[in-house]
């Protein structure tokens, strides 16, 4: 099937087997291997990408469903020498060890901070309305779809807290 | 030139006299920017010209023979290039450090989930679909799948110890406990799926794999395929976690190599998550009987620790459950022993801290129980039982700051056990000791000082998240007087000098020592060129001083490269002293009085593990280990079907790793220590120390909060609920 995917601002015209997941299209067909496969079943979050700004598990989507969507992968957030503030904070706070879950964590955190800015409540939010206070429990709750077997959670949360504080200060 | 060294005598801490000042510092990982931006490439991410995809197929019976399969039909499916089922295929994964082929041959079936075939097609979608359509037929045989009732049971001599008279010590004890703990099977569940990309150039095989110990993996692969070792190259520059499951080669590597040879095209085989749960090693369940006998002051007079574990018939590995019981506490009368039930279940092997990870869960629970019987503080009880000399071998201990770890940890944590109620929650505290044996292994590295005054470290050592890139750069930088930014580290390629590999927490000490030795050789040459004694040489920020001389490093090199290999070997110090890393865990938990749910509120670990090379990566290692402890304490349990022995919860939704919301902030402290018996850089392992006992602190805290003693790990709600008042 013919499908047009816009990834990190670049349009790609692809001819894909309809069974190809968005994750495999990124990794195999576009060579964007930053998005990782940890389970292929929507259970680990390693494949998290942003679709029109919202985070999804790319292993649970078929590529052909995303014709015309704006997809952002970890490669689109920053690169060595020009890291996204979240990526830089992950390095400073050692928010990873083996690094395999890391792209998913970074992209997920990026999407999550957007949700917080828009005032979306979570399971642990005290209030369903109004602005969200990004407490430690909120970060942990909202990031629990991204597993890390190295268990770098302390560093991950510190990195997210720092990056979010910095971006608030900048606003 | 080569600088060789065997660890036969304690070593002076040279790293305390060098001046660059990069050792111990919490420096960022040099490969960090690649990892956080998705530019670090893992095994499955190799895309070679003409590459095709293989999908493994597993047996769906526990014991029997493969009678046939509809291979012809599958071969005719769209895109399919071949269906392979070869007698060289691995039946079992290789154990850590095997260095030879594991059990091969997939016609004979020994466990549910065993590999039986590989289907290769042009695309992953085609291969996956075809693999799903491969229908094997079997001649079934009777299987034994339950370790509790298995008829075939070994009692390995190497695990047996009988010293004094434990029964008498128990009978005469003023206080004693005789309790049985159980731990369920655990899985490493590294986030990166096991994957191999195999390609041939004539007789030479290149394998991009995800492995921990490359020189052994190369030998295992060569032996499995029946080809000379020099024709095999294994590359693993980045490994997405291993925790033991990538110590030895697993079935996908050999299957990919065989198919690639036959098809004349590179073949990629990536296991599915479900396949990982059955095709690589996992940790056995344990049943552990602990007996502790003590006098009225809490001094141990006897220790018994007997366990039952399982593995496949003929596998030599068995979990060394009692490993730390041998040396941790005093007690003249001792009985240790093991039963290995032979079952038709997936292969068991090393998972992070084999031995201590589960043995300490039972021992440290039992010690807490003894403290309760004696009405003693559990720290006092442990302090009172730290032996002067090894209680079984009459050798001294090397650096051992267990008491300091407990005391300083208690202060930092605010140790004050005693249940208190907060709404519907019962809050309590628990502690446990940490102990993990220290090991070193032969390791080689090459260090090159380049004419421009930068350095290159090369070894086939791996970084599986442990921080190898960081610490080897720091050691070279420190020894050569260079900022870490001027040191490049190349790892994970068997064309480089063979290292110890990542396993048993021996990587940093062993590979680190080889880099240290190579640098020592370079320092000797530089001293000679400068005109001073090696002992008088100071290297800092690219400048050499010594005697009355001073020169820029680049001038001493006069444009040329200077290369040196370092070869490290374990020696007599390994037997001259009992070596281990030590520590103390503290946990505060809240148990819900209505649901029985346990939340860990905070956790702290204090560790003494020799010299800490990088405080940041070492801290992450310990935090990770402690979170594994939370998993073992509360959530992790791999279940096998009692009928056919298949792994039931074989995915990440049902096998419950701790997630972010399960983990409180984890505080880690390191005590200053040098272990001169361990290796020339005075380090000991840290990667496994953080798990060795951690879960016991959580269960001891549950007891403190509720008075409920859970002895069957993990302490899920049902087990706690049963003990709560209505
Ligand atoms: S790979 Fe998509 S959630 Fe695990
Ligand atoms: S860093 Fe290894 S799984 Fe998260």
* Yes or no, beta carbons of B190 and A149 under 8 Å apart: yes
B509 and B483 fall within a common domain: yes
User: Does residue B685 form part of some domain?
Assistant: yes
Q: What is the pLDDT of residues B131-163, one digit of tens each?
A: 999 999 999 999 999 999 999 999 999 999 999
User: Does residue B507 form part of some domain?
Assistant: yes
Query: How many structural domains does chain B have?
Result: 2
User: Does residue B129 form part of some domain?
Assistant: no
Distance CA A52, CA B720 (A): 45
What per-residue confidence (pLDDT) applies to A170? 72
B537 and B607 fall within a common domain: no
B631 and B542 fall within a common domain: no
For chain A, say whether B196 makes contact (Cβ under 8 Å): no
B682 and B705 fall within a common domain: yes
* Cβ neighbours around A37 below 10 Å, total: 27
Q: What is the pLDDT of residues B104-121, one digit of tens each?
A: 999 999 999 999 999 999
Which helix (DSSP H) or strand (DSSP E) does residue B592 occupy?
A: strand B580-592
Q: Are B283 and B357 in contact (CB under 8 A)?
A: yes
Which atom of ligand 2 is least distant from the CA of A98? Answer: 2
For chain A, say whether B659 makes contact (Cβ under 8 Å): yes
- Complete DSSP assignment for A1-68: -EEEEEETTEEEEEE--TT-BHHHIIIIIS--TTS--S-SSSSS-TTEEEETTEEEEGGGSBGGGGTT
C-beta of A145 in contact with ligand 1 (< 6 A): no
Name which of B26, B30, B35 to mutate to probe chain A: the one with the most chain A Cβ atoms within 10 A of its Cβ: B35
User: Does residue B265 form part of some domain?
Assistant: no
Q: Are B240 and B191 in contact (CB under 8 A)?
A: yes
Burial class (CB in 10 A: 0-12, 13-18, 19+), B384: middle
B567 and B608 fall within a common domain: no
Q: What is the pLDDT of residues B610-637, one digit of tens each?
A: 999 999 999 999 999 999 999 999 999 9
**Cα distances (angstroms) measured from residue A28 to each of A22, B71, B80:** 10, 27, 18
Cβ-Cβ contacts under 8 Å between A and B: the total is 183
What per-residue confidence (pLDDT) applies to B59? 98
Q: What is the pLDDT of residues B35-63, one digit of tens each?
A: 999 999 999 999 999 999 999 999 999 99
Closest ligand to A37 CA?
1
Helices A153-170 and B615-634 meet at what angle, rounded to 10? 120
Give catalytic status of residue B688 as yes or no.
yes
* Cβ neighbours around B572 below 10 Å, total: 12
- Chain B residues in contact with A108 by the CB 8 A cut-off are none
User: Does residue B646 form part of some domain?
Assistant: yes
> A29: CA distance to ligand 1 center in Å?
18
The average pLDDT across A3-22 equals 97
Q: What is the pLDDT of residues B281-293, one digit of tens each?
A: 999 999 999 999 9
Nearest CA to ligand 2 atom 3: A148
ipTM of the complex: 0.98
Is it the case that residue B333 has pLDDT exceeding 80?
A: yes
Last residue of a domain, one of B559, B574, B589: B574
B532 and B612 fall within a common domain: no
Report residue B537's pLDDT band, with 50, 70 and 90 as the boundaries.
very high
B656 and B694 fall within a common domain: yes
Q: Which residues contact B176 (CB under 8 A, 6 or more apart)?
A: B170, B291, B292, B293, B294, B370, B373
> B218: CA distance to ligand 1 center in Å?
30
Q: Name the residue among A41, A79, A153 with its Cβ closest to that of B37.
A: A79
User: Does residue B102 form part of some domain?
Assistant: no
User: Does residue B505 form part of some domain?
Assistant: yes
Q: Are B245 and B194 in contact (CB under 8 A)?
A: yes
Domain covering A2-76: architecture: Roll (3.10)
B454 and B522 fall within a common domain: yes
B469: domain CATH number is: 3.30.365.10
Q: Are B226 and B244 in contact (CB under 8 A)?
A: no
What per-residue confidence (pLDDT) applies to B725? 80
User: Does residue B703 form part of some domain?
Assistant: yes
Alpha-carbon radius of gyration of chain A? 16
> A39: CA distance to ligand 1 center in Å?
5
Q: Are B650 and B637 in contact (CB under 8 A)?
A: no
Q: Which residues contact B119 (CB under 8 A, 6 or more apart)?
A: B54, B55, B57, B74, B80, B82, B83, B84, B127, B130, B131, B134
**CATH class of the domain defined by A85-170:** mainly alpha
Last residue of a domain, one of B555, B574, B593: B574
What per-residue confidence (pLDDT) applies to A171? 64
Kindly report, as residue ranges, where domains of CATH 1.10.150.120 are found in chain A.
Answer: 85-170
B412 and B466 fall within a common domain: no
B466 and B568 fall within a common domain: yes
B464 and B493 fall within a common domain: yes
Instruction: Specify which residues B683 forms β-bridges with.
Output: B610
The average pLDDT across B249-275 equals 98
What per-residue confidence (pLDDT) applies to B495? 98
What per-residue confidence (pLDDT) applies to B612? 98
* Yes or no, beta carbons of B240 and A90 under 8 Å apart: no
Name which of B31, B32, B37 to mutate to probe chain A: the one with the most chain A Cβ atoms within 10 A of its Cβ: B37
Is it the case that residue A167 has pLDDT exceeding 90?
A: no
Q: What is the pLDDT of residues A56-108, one digit of tens each?
A: 999 999 999 999 999 999 999 999 999 999 999 999 999 999 999 999 999 99
For chain B, say whether A59 makes contact (Cβ under 8 Å): no
Distance CA B455, CA B474 (A): 11
Domain encompassing residue B555: 2-40+440-574
User: What percentage of chain B carries pLDDT values higher than 70?
Assistant: 100
Q: Sign of the C-alpha dihedral, residues B529, B533, B539, B545?
A: negative
Q: Are A14 and A29 in contact (CB under 8 A)?
A: yes
B591 and B670 fall within a common domain: yes
Last residue of a domain, one of B574, B600, B618: B574
Kindly report, as residue ranges, where domains of CATH 3.10.20.30 are found in chain A.
Answer: 2-76
* DSSP 8-state code for residue B497: P
What's the length of chain A? 171
Helices B214-225 and B251-263 meet at what angle, rounded to 10? 50
> Which tokens in the block code for residue B484?
């870490």
> Which tokens in the block code for residue B215?
């020189």
Pick from A21, A28, A42 the residue to mutate for probing ligand 1's pocket: most ligand atoms within 8 Å of its CB: A42
> A100: CA distance to ligand 2 center in Å?
5
* Cβ neighbours around B165 below 10 Å, total: 15
């Amino acid at each position: 099937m013919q499908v047009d995917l816009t990834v990190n601002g670049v349009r790609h015209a692809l001819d894909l087997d309809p069974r190809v997941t968005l994750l495999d299209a990124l990794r195999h067909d576009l060579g964007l291997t930053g998005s990782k496969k940890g389970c292929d079943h929507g259970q680990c979050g390693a494949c998290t990408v942003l679709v029109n700004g919202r985070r999804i598990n790319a292993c649970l989507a078929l590529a052909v469903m995303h014709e015309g969507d704006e997809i952002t992968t970890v490669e689109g957030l920053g690169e060595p020498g020009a890291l996204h503030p979240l990526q830089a904070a992950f390095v400073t706070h050692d928010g990873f060890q083996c690094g395999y879950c890391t792209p998913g964590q970074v992209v997920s955190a990026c999407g999550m901070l957007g949700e917080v800015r828009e005032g979306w409540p979570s399971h642990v939010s005290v209030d369903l309305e109004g602005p969200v206070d990004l407490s430690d429990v909120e970060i942990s709750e909202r990031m629990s779809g991204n597993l890390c077997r190295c268990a770098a959670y302390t560093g991950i949360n510190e990195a997210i807290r720092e990056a979010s504080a910095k971006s608030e200060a900048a606003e | 030139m080569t600088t060789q060294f065997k660890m036969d005598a304690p070593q002076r801490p040279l790293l305390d006299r060098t001046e660059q000042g990069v050792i111990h510092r919490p420096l960022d990982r040099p490969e960090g920017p690649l990892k956080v931006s998705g530019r670090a490439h893992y095994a499955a991410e190799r895309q070679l010209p003409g590459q095709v995809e293989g999908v493994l197929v597993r047996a769906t019976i526990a014991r029997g023979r493969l009678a046939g399969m509809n291979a012809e039909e599958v071969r005719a499916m769209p895109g399919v290039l071949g269906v392979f089922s070869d007698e060289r295929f691995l039946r079992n994964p290789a154990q850590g450090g095997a260095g030879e082929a594991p059990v091969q041959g997939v016609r004979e079936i020994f466990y549910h989930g065993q590999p039986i075939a590989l289907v290769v097609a042009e695309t992953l979608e085609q291969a996956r679909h075809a693999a799903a359509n491969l229908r094997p037929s079997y001649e079934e045989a009777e299987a034994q799948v339950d370790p509790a009732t298995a008829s075939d049971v070994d009692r390995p001599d190497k695990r047996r110890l009988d010293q004094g008279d434990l029964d008498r010590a128990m009978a005469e004890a003023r206080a004693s406990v005789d309790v049985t703990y159980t731990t369920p099977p655990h899985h490493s569940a590294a986030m990166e799926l096991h994957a191999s990309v195999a390609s041939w150039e004539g007789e030479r095989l290149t394998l991009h794999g995800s492995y921990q110990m490359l020189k052994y993996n190369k030998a295992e692969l060569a032996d499995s395929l029946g080809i000379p070792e020099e024709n095999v190259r294994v590359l693993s520059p980045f490994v997405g976690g291993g925790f033991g499951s990538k110590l030895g080669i697993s079935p996908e590597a050999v299957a990919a190599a065989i198919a690639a040879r036959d098809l004349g095209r590179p073949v990629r085989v990536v296991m599915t998550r479900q396949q990982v749960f059955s095709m690589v090693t996992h940790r056995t369940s344990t049943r552990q009987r602990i007996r502790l006998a003590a006098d009225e002051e809490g001094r141990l007079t006897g220790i018994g620790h007997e366990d039952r574990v399982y593995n496949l018939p003929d596998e030599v590995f068995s979990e060394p459950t009692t490993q730390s019981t041998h040396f941790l506490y005093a007690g003249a009368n001792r009985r240790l022993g093991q039963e290995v039930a032979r079952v038709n279940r997936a292969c068991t092997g090393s998972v992070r801290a084999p031995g201590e990870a589960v043995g300490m869960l039972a021992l440290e629970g039992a010690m807490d129980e003894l403290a309760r019987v004696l009405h003693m503080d559990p720290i006092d009880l442990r302090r009172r039982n730290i032996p002067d000399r090894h209680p079984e071998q009459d050798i001294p201990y090397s650096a051992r700051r267990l008491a300091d770890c407990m005391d300083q940890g208690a202060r930092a944590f605010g140790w004050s056990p005693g249940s208190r109620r907060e709404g519907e929650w019962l809050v309590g505290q628990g502690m446990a000791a940490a102990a993990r044996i220290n090991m070193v292994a032969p390791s080689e590295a090459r260090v090159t000082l380049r004419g421009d005054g930068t350095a290159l470290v090369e070894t086939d050592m791996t970084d599986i998240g442990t921080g190898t890139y960081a610490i080897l750069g720091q050691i070279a930088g420190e020894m050569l007087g260079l900022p870490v930014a001027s040191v490049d580290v190349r790892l994970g390629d068997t064309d480089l000098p063979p290292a110890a590999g990542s396993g048993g927490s021996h990587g940093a000490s062993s590979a680190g020592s080889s880099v240290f030795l190579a640098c020592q050789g370079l320092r000797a040459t530089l001293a000679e060129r400068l005109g001073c004694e090696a002992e008088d040489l100071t290297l800092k920020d690219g400048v050499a001083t010594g005697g009355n001389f001073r020169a820029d490093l680049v001038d001493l090199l006069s444009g040329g490269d200077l290369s040196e290999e370092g070869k490290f070997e374990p020696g007599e110090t390994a037997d001259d002293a009992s070596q281990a890393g030590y520590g103390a865990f503290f946990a505060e938990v809240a148990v819900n009085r209505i649901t029985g749910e346990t939340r860990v509120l905070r956790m702290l670990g204090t560790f003494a593990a020799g010299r800490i090379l990088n405080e940041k990566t070492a801290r992450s290692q310990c935090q990770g280990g402690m979170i594994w402890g939370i998993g073992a304490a509360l959530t992790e349990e791999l279940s096998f079907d009692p009928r056919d022995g298949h792994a039931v919860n074989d995915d990440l939704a049902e096998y419950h790793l701790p997630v972010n919301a399960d983990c409180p902030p984890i505080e880690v402290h390191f005590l200053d220590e040098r272990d001169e018996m361990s290796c020339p850089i005075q380090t000991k392992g840290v990667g496994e120390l953080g798990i060795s006992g951690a879960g016991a602190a959580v269960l001891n805290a549950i007891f403190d909060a509720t008075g409920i003693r859970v002895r069957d790990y993990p302490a899920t709600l049902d087990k706690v609920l049963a003990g709560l008042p209505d």
